[in-house]
Structure 1
Amino acid sequence: MILHHVTRTRAPLRVALTGANGGYGRTFLAQLGLTPEIRPVVLVDPDVAGVRRMLDELGVPAERVAEAAEPADTARLVEEGRIALLASADALDWASVDVLVEACGRVSAGFAYASAALDNHTHVVMVSKEVDTVVGVELGARAAANGLSYLPGDGDQPANLLRLVDWVSAVGLDIVAIGKSGEYDLELDPATGRVTQAGVTVDAPELADLLELGDDVAGTLARRAEAVRGLKRAAAADSCEMAVVATRTGATADVEAMHYPVARIAELADIYAAREHGGILGRDGVVDVFSALRLPGEASFAGGVFAVVRTGDPATWELLRGKGHVISRDGRYACLYWPYHYMGVETPLTVHAAADRAPALRPRWTTLLAARAADDLGVGAELHVQGHHHEIDGVAPVLLDPTVLGGAETVAPYYLLDGARLVRPVAQGDLIGLDDVEGVDAPALAAYLTGIARTATTTATTPDTTTTTTTITNDGDDR
């Protein structure tokens, strides 16, 4: 018999979900049908009709759902055991909510939702990683000051990777690199020489001769990258997710755009090794993303997460190699990985953790997701986050150490630029600064700058030990 989770005996946790009518929202709500100890009481989305249709598809009885226009309406519906549908959080009665799951994906709205929650003594699970990369430091500080939780949501790669890092570090292993695969695998059909990624297929016959890494790792990776140059493999969402992890672990990007090697799972321990050992890394403590290469019928990495570690006793790790674990050819490194992220299916874990005030280190601005002009941008150019990958046309996301910039207070965070307009020209290759734009969301900007000041103060004093987690340290050595 498989026993129910012990937390199912707790009083039901009341959850509000923003950005409810999205893919993440749907998977979360579907899962809550199986977790009676977590109750969705408020769903916020401008498309109220769309949320109604989704709930109908999920089998929620129509009589359990009603729209609310005022906080009093919301309070009444929750008391009656119904689900309140809101077009905005203005009608939210915070006394009826224990945990906010923020999934709208927009900085201005997401920050407003999360701020209101914390002001009203409500825990926050932050699914909107874009919001976290701009105001996460300030929201984390506010939550801690009020005895509340502010956590990234399980089911997306940042939280999953942080859980893996915590496990690996608790075991006592020395972490060299952490990261994830891109959202979509590269599937090579050797019979045709064609590679498919997310429904897009290109001819890449040369890949069939590059399935083995060989002795020249960097050279093989360069040839693989050239073979699939017709596919878009890097995405702003990847950089965003790694920024969330970096601000909580102290890890950094080895190169600002990350390496993105085309790699097979069994090769990761050889690829994410120090250069002097044949790998691609110039330092320890790195975050990175790879494009998973597989053949038809092989298991997918499924946008999962990994940690590459140094091995210890050679006999131990040779024994583990024999059991199918990913060990580098020279035995120096091993790759531990979780090949999944189940979106909202996993988020109940974070709801419980938030209510339980599970230990978690607050984010700090050790890494900044900045914006570098990919083209020459003229005065008046309008910047908008759009598309499936949440990107800005003509602007590349980069992961930077704020200290090498002379401070982060002059640099515009990538996702703060949504809706901004250039007041100065920015040449291709230059970073976009806060003085280069107008029209950014003022409350989010103020929170970002406050977070910068908090990080500077925290760095100059004794680290906060009220909450703890495992961190990766990076001393900058090239090993």
Structure 2
Amino acid sequence: MSLIRQLKARAANGKPVRVGVIGAGKFGSMYLSQAPRTPGIHLVAVADLSPQRARASLARVGWEEPRYQARSLQEAVRSGGTFITDDADAMIASDAVDIVIDATGSPAAGIHHALLCCEHKKHIIMVNVEADVLAGPYLARRAEEAGIIYSMASGDQPALIAELVDWARTIGMEVICAGKGTKYLPIYHQSTPDTVWGHYGFSEEQVAGGDFNAQMFNSFLDGTKSALEMAAVSNGCELVPPTDGLMFPACGVDDMPTLLRAKADGGILQQRGTVEVLSSLERDGRPVFRDLRWGVYAVFEAPSDYVKDCFAQYGLKTDASGRFAATYKPYHLIGLELGISVASIAVRNEATGATTNWSGDVAATAKRALKAGEKLDGEGGFTVYGKLMPAADSLRVGALPIGLAHNMVLKNDIPAGQAVRWSDVDFDASKEAVRVRREMEALFARELGIVTEHKKAA
């Protein structure tokens, strides 16, 4: 039975799925705009550090004010309305909520909320890719032990890529490469919040007249978001990351089957079964023909001559050999698609993409030569960007994850382009996010038989 029919059945039986959202920013607001239009869904609560901001978001997306005036979770359940709160912990602990959506964007907050969901047996949809890459493999294990679902967020590119990969493998194809598109030039790795608008082509008047967060926009431009999303895909789809970071090849959709093959097969990839991000710009700044800037893709290989002939008979765009083909979605609708994850968990008991192992990590990497005594300013800032690397390599060198590279003071000079290590910074080991990350590193180092820099120093 389709998702919508099962949701309608829940609505008819008076048993809607009760959802709590944490974070009323852009992604959360996009979901809020659609939730009232979906039968069988009751958005019981919205938690945000600023309740007034949450109310403003609901008004902006078209909610009528009486709908979100419930004075408690219990009143929201009785009335069918929505409770606005700044206490996400209490919302998670309440029996009024079945599924929690973390759309905070804060790695520390995401880890905290996921652990609470494990404690209180609430399924969690992790919109927060920063938290998922920082500690997702650990959190996924905790969720499995707790008997809850820990899911990627449909509409976000990692979940959509996971869907394509699952489709290809389920019909018997070997996935050669999977990923997404973006706007990229090598100089963007050095972009800062002061230079970001020029790269996007926004005027000062446009920026002044809109709700623009320079550091957030810069995290997309400087390669950090791409690295985070590909680490999530690597960890959720049993695909390996490149050993020296993403290449961001300039590539349109027609060229994917030719370019995105292993070098042994005539392509540019180090190996089969990897992730990569495609640039919508040639290196000289010209637009790529039929680019995939907003979309996702998977390249796969025909397992036999018969299947290769089928590719030709049904018009698939392939490489010259006819063996390699690609499928793609040209767009993604972000939070507007999040209801698929809610419905999948509620009526099928299935995640829409989920972390299964620790294959990829994202290291904080110096944008310029950094000096001892400087304070790191995190994702999208002036000091570091995130670079994708194999998790095993990250463990060996003791790389500092980009998700924690905020408000830490350097003890050593760091050359431009070099990963920052744990030993290069002062950090508070008592903080929950730091503790969880270090526990995860120790756990996987033991399992992989890796001696970390931390252990060597000890």
TM-score normalized by the length of structure 2: 0.80
The answer on whether the counterparts of 1:45 and 1:51 sit within 8 Å (CA) in structure 2 is yes
The answer on whether the counterparts of 2:33 and 2:62 sit within 8 Å (CA) in structure 1 is no
- Which residues of 2 match residues 200-279 of structure 1 at below 5 A? 235-279=223-267
Distance 2:369 2:3 in 1: 60
Residue 308, structure 1, aligned to residue 299, structure 2: yes
Deviation (angstroms), 1:438? 2.7
Deviation (angstroms), 1:183? 6.1
- Which residues of 2 match residues 54-453 of structure 1 at below 5 A? 54-66=57-69, 73-92=72-91, 93-182=93-182, 198-199=200-201, 235-292=223-280, 301=292, 303-314=294-305, 316-318=307-309, 320-321=311-312, 323-355=314-346, 356-358=348-350, 362-385=355-378, 390-405=379-394, 407=396, 410-439=398-427, 442-453=431-442
The answer on whether the counterparts of 1:15 and 1:42 sit within 8 Å (CA) in structure 2 is yes
Distance 1:358 1:48, change over 3 A: same
Alignment counterpart, residue 12 of structure 1, candidates 3, 12, 16: 16
Deviation (angstroms), 1:305? 1.4
Q: 2:216 maps to what in 1?
A: none
Query: Counterpart amino acid of 1:75?
Result: Q
The answer on whether the counterparts of 1:135 and 1:448 sit within 8 Å (CA) in structure 2 is yes
The answer on whether the counterparts of 2:369 and 2:414 sit within 8 Å (CA) in structure 1 is yes
Listed one character per residue, the Cα deviations across residues 43-92 of structure 1 (whole Å, up to 9, x for unaligned) are 11223223212222333221221376xxxx33333333221111242552
For this pair of structures, how many residues does the alignment match? 409
Distance 1:418 1:160 in 2: 29
Answer with 248-257 or 23-32: which moved more. 248-257
Gaps of 5+ in 1: 186-195, 202-231, 461-479
Deviation (angstroms), 1:398? 1.7
DSSP-derived class of the 1:330 partner: coil
The answer on whether the counterparts of 1:125 and 1:354 sit within 8 Å (CA) in structure 2 is no
Gaps of 5+ in 2: 186-197, 204-219, 450-458
Deviation (angstroms), 1:458? 5.5
Determine which structure has the larger helix proportion and give its number. 2
Deviation (angstroms), 1:99? 0.7
Distance 2:255 2:56 in 1: 45
Q: 2:195 maps to what in 1?
A: none
Q: 2:40 maps to what in 1?
A: 37
The answer on whether the counterparts of 1:265 and 1:292 sit within 8 Å (CA) in structure 2 is no
Deviation (angstroms), 1:277? 3.6
Listed one character per residue, the Cα deviations across residues 168-223 of structure 1 (whole Å, up to 9, x for unaligned) are 001111111111111699xxxxxxxxxx985469xxxxxxxxxxxxxxxxxxxxxx
Distance 2:394 2:20 in 1: 39
Distance 2:406 2:435 in 1: 15
The answer on whether the counterparts of 2:253 and 2:291 sit within 8 Å (CA) in structure 1 is no
Query: Counterpart amino acid of 1:337?
Result: Y
Listed one character per residue, the Cα deviations across residues 257-308 of structure 1 (whole Å, up to 9, x for unaligned) are 3111111210011110222443211211110000236999x87635221111
Deviation (angstroms), 1:245? 0.9
Distance 1:156 1:287, change over 3 A: same
DSSP-derived class of the 1:55 partner: helix
Query: Counterpart amino acid of 2:412?
Result: R
Determine which structure has the larger strand proportion and give its number. 1
Cα RMSD over matched residues?
Answer: 3.1
Distance 1:378 1:177, change over 3 A: same
Alignment counterpart, residue 53 of structure 2, candidates 39, 50, 55: 50
The answer on whether the counterparts of 1:383 and 1:420 sit within 8 Å (CA) in structure 2 is yes
Distance 1:197 1:318 in 2: 44
Distance 1:364 1:3 in 2: 28
TM-score normalized by the length of structure 1: 0.77
DSSP-derived class of the 1:329 partner: coil
The answer on whether the counterparts of 1:257 and 1:397 sit within 8 Å (CA) in structure 2 is no
Distance 1:34 1:299, change over 3 A: farther
Answer with 372-381 or 278-287: which moved more. 372-381
The answer on whether the counterparts of 2:164 and 2:297 sit within 8 Å (CA) in structure 1 is yes
The answer on whether the counterparts of 2:150 and 2:354 sit within 8 Å (CA) in structure 1 is no
DSSP-derived class of the 1:132 partner: helix
Distance 1:293 1:429 in 2: 22
The answer on whether the counterparts of 2:254 and 2:290 sit within 8 Å (CA) in structure 1 is no
Query: Counterpart amino acid of 1:80?
Result: S
Distance 2:223 2:150 in 1: 26
DSSP-derived class of the 2:69 partner: strand
Distance 1:32 1:184, change over 3 A: farther
Deviation (angstroms), 1:316? 4.5
Query: Counterpart amino acid of 2:21?
Result: L
Distance 1:405 1:384, change over 3 A: closer
Distance 1:348 1:415, change over 3 A: same
